[in-house]
Each structure stands twice: as C-alpha cells, then as structure tokens.
C-alpha cells in the first residue's frame, strides 16, 4: 500500500528493544500533529527464516 506523501511522517528503523545481542527495529508511521488521543495499531510480522 502506497502512503500519500505529507499525510503521515515516517520514522524508519527505530530501535524498540533488543533480542539477545540484536536490536529490534520498527518503522513508525505517525499522523499529523494533533492534541487529541487516537487509537494505535501494532502489526507484528514473524518474518521468515532462510
């Protein structure tokens, strides 16, 4: 899904923790700045092992 530019700000590869010695990274998509609270969605993908 393509995100319309300017509609959200994207912070890529934000370290949110560690798994052993490896950093756990997340891309964070933020709505325009507003004072009201909004719901959030956390999508976790298990990935694949190769």
The sign one gets for the Cα dihedral 1, 3, 8, 14 is: positive
Residue 16 placed within a domain: yes
Report pLDDT for 49.
67
Give the domain range for residue 25: 1-45
Report pLDDT for 13.
95
Report pLDDT for 23.
93
Residue 30 placed within a domain: yes
- pLDDT, one tens digit per residue, over 6-42 is 778 889 999 999 989 999 999 988 888 878 888 888 8
Residue 29 placed within a domain: yes
d(CA 4, CA 42): 20
- 14: which strand partners? 26
pTM over 0.75: no
Number of domains in the chain: 1
């Amino acid at each position: 899904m393509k995100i319309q530019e300017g509609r959200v700000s994207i912070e890529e590869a934000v370290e949110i923790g560690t798994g052993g010695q490896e950093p756990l990274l997340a891309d964070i998509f933020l709505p325009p700045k507003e004072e009201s609270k909004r719901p959030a969605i956390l999508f976790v993908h298990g990935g694949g092992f190769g």
